[in-house]
Amino acid sequence: MIRRLRRTAADERGFALVIALAVTVVFSMTVITVIEAARSNSRASDMSKNRVSAYDLAEAGISNANALLTAKNPYDQHLLHPQGQYQPADCANPPANPTGAALLGNTCSPLTYTLDGGSVTVWGWLNTSTANWTITSTGTVTRNAFASQPATKTLTVVVHIRARASQQNVTPAWNYVFVKDTTSSICNITLDQTTALTSSVYTEGNLCFKNSASISETNAADPVLLEVRGKLVWLSGASKGVGQSSPLQELTSAKIGGGCAIGAVTNAGHTCQRPPTGSDYFYVKSGGYTSQADAIASPSLTTTDWDNYYQTSTISRLSPCAAGGLTSTNFDNDTTRNTSLSTAFNLTPGTNYTCQTTNANGFVIGELDWDASSHILSVRGTVFIDGSVTINGVVKYRGVNKYGTHPSGSDGSDGLGGMMVMYVSGTVSLSNSGVFCGWNTNNDTAAYSGSSCDFNAWTPGTSMLMFIAQGGVTLNQSSFFQGAIFSEGNVSLGQSAQTEGPIITNTLTLGQSVQLKPLPGLADLPLGAPGNPNTSGYPEQPAYGSG
């Protein structure tokens, strides 16, 4: 009996051992499963975090690209290192843009940035027709704490560049009264009677003095540069000329290619010399005279250029004003550039008018408003008028910002001083005693005093309305004009007319007692100035295409 009980107990111990082993195995498998599940969940979580971080890195790349577009020339197609079919042939050594700017260096490879937790690769290409950058940014997370694979995310965005109202002046001709006429054996510019120029002058031909006409420098802060590629000629009876003998006023620079001549253009030129060593009325600062007069390039508009301005101006027959504004037929009576507008556009009628155009994002890109009671012309952008323009009475022009407003106390930024280019396929005329004045952006007031423009108050670097005429421009008797003029024909200034600002013209006619006042070298010009490329703009909010 006792022996049987011992055998039974032994059998039960064996069975218990089996059960214990089985439980241990099952428990171990459960623990392993839990651990593996935890590890798997951690890997999945880590990969998810990587994906989020990769997205963040890609967005950081977009931000870096935007920073470049803001800091540098956003119209330089090399700037964001375009790849593939968009890569320029000169990517290894692109030229400075604009001239004088810092070189970008080799732009053949994409931009790369190492950031916290990973890296980003960025490149973009510019559609020059729309001013849109398409930017591709790929963020890569490099950490792999649980042996997860590095995660990547690619984003593609489109960024539109909205041009600034003013652009850096890279065209030296806009710092002169610039006359292109090269007709030989004539006076291409004649200064007569008491005409007194105090502005820089450039002529491809000859400059002649009659009676007591002169060109002088009255303010050392506004240096006057004279460049005559032909001859400087004193016609019979001329008593003055370059500078002043008493009180002594000397020009900063005089480059006279054909020398000085007395009596007639056809007489031989000689080295210009003032008394006592010579007899020329020629007062130039020491070291300022040279006979080397190198050509200065000036804008020249082709038929294609004019057609392009007709197509792309922000206000025109093809880009009409918003509802309630001027009708499109005020700018052209058909849709072809052919100078067909039979009635001249009156810029300053006796009644108010308004015109505003906006871009796809709702920002104002064109503004032309006239307040007949205050005589204020509010401007922004470019205008094309397929005919002629007349201006009467007093005009004080200023600008509006991208929202179409001119807040009190405006400082001239974002075009608030009045930056506009008006293309005119016909002629431009300012009436007798007409007054056309710019703005003082230091005090947010008109550069106007009494019945004339206030030269000392005008801030031309932030307030410049430019007329681009395919025909001639006439500033009639006793008129005042502050702005810029480009004419493919003749610019005519009537008796006692006064102009302040650059002029580029084929020929120039000056009446008696005309005054042309100087400007400091212009750092900026209005958006759309001929010969001056866009080099400055604002990147607008990115539009995401994928990601």
Query: What are 60-69's pLDDT values in tens digits?
Result: 999 999 999 9
Same domain as 175, residue 158: no
pLDDT tens digits for 183-242?
999 999 999 999 989 999 999 999 999 999 999 998 888 899 999 999 999 999 999 999
Evaluate whether residue 530 is within a structural domain.
no
Mean pLDDT, range 20-48, rounded to an integer: 43
Question: Are residues 198 and 292 located together in one domain of the fold?
Answer: yes
128 and 253 fall within a common domain = no
pLDDT at 9: 46
- Overall domain count for the chain: 3
Percent of the chain with pLDDT over 70: 88
Q: Which of 167, 189, 217 is the last residue of a domain?
A: 167
Phi, then psi, of 49 in degrees rounded to 5? -65, -40
Give residue 293's pLDDT band: very low, low, confident or very high (50, 70, 90). Answer: very high
Q: Over the stretch 112-138, which tens digit does the pLDDT of each residue have?
A: 999 988 999 999 999 988 889 999 999
Which of residues 502 and 532 earns the better pLDDT score?
A: 502
pLDDT tens-digit readout, 319-372: 999 999 999 999 999 999 999 999 999 999 999 999 999 998 899 999 999 999
The values of phi and psi at residue 179, to 5°, are -115, 120
pLDDT in tens, 45-59: 444 444 458 999 999
Q: Are 449 and 443 in contact (CB under 8 A)?
A: no
Structural domain includes residue 21 = no
- Predicted local confidence at residue 217, as pLDDT: 93
Residue 276 lies in a domain: yes
In a domain, 108, yes or no: yes
DSSP for 461-521 reads TT-EEEEEESS-EEE-TT-EEESEEEEEEEEEE-TT-EEES-EEEEEEEE-TT-EEE--PP
Domain shared by 179 and 78, yes or no: no
In a domain, 482, yes or no: yes
Whether residues 316 and 449 fall in one domain: yes
For residue 148, pLDDT beyond 70: no
Share of the chain above pLDDT 90, in %: 72
Please tell me the predicted confidence (pLDDT) of residue 332.
Answer: 97
Q: For position 18, what pLDDT does the model report?
A: 44
Measuring CA to CA, how many Å separate 31 from each of 19, 42, 147, 471, 505?
A: 18, 16, 21, 93, 91
Q: Are residues 114 and 208 in the same domain?
A: no
Within a domain: 1: no
Helix, coil or strand: residue 153 = strand
The residues, ordered by sequence, that sit 6+ positions from 190 with a Cβ below 8 Å of its Cβ are 207, 208, 210, 510
| 384 and 453 co-located in one domain | yes
Same domain flag for 196 and 148: no
Band (144; pLDDT cuts 50, 70, 90): low
First to last CA, the chain: 84
The pTM assigned to this predicted structure is 0.77
pLDDT tier at 145, thresholds 50, 70, 90: low
Look over the chain and give the mean of its residue pLDDT values, rounded to a whole number. 88
Residue 206 · residue 228 · CB < 8 Å? yes
Give the model confidence (pLDDT) of 389-428 as tens digits: 999 999 999 999 999 999 999 998 889 999 999 999 999 9
Cα–Cα dist 24/256, whole Å: 108
Tokens of 354: 């308004």
Query: 285 and 319: one domain?
Result: no
Identify the pLDDT of residue 530: 86
- 409 falls within a domain: yes
- 230 plus 315 within the same structural domain: no
Same domain, yes or no: 240 and 340: no
**More confidently predicted of 522 and 369:** 369
Question: What is the extent of the structural domain holding 153?
Answer: 44-167
pLDDT digits 0-9 by tens, 160-181: 888 777 777 778 889 999 999 9
Residue 531, domain member (yes or no): no
pLDDT tens column, 152-161: 999 999 998 8
